[in-house]
Amino acid sequence: MELTKRQQQVLDFIRRHIEEEGMSPSVREICAHFGLSAPAGVHRILRTLQDKGLLVSTPGKKRSWRLSQRARQWSGGCRLPLVGQIAAGVPIEARENLIEELPVDAAALFGRDPCFALYVQGDSMIDAHITDGDIAVIQQCDDVDDGEIAAVLVEGVLHEATLKIVKKQRSCIELHAANPAYAPMVFKGEEIASVRIVGRLAGIIRRNR
Asked if 7 and 45 touch (Cβ cutoff 8 Å), the reply is yes
Helices (H) and strands (E) in the chain, counts: 5, 12
Active-site positions read: 124, 164
DSSP codes of every residue in 75-104: HTT--EEEEEEEESSS-EE---S--EEES-
CA 136 – CA 195 distance, rounded (Å): 19
Asked if 173 and 159 touch (Cβ cutoff 8 Å), the reply is no
Asked if 77 and 101 touch (Cβ cutoff 8 Å), the reply is no
Task: Report the residue count for the chain.
Answer: 209
CA 166 – CA 136 distance, rounded (Å): 16
Asked if 93 and 4 touch (Cβ cutoff 8 Å), the reply is no
Task: Write down the H helix ranges in the chain.
Answer: 5-21, 27-34, 40-51, 69-75, 106-110
- The residue type of 119 is Y
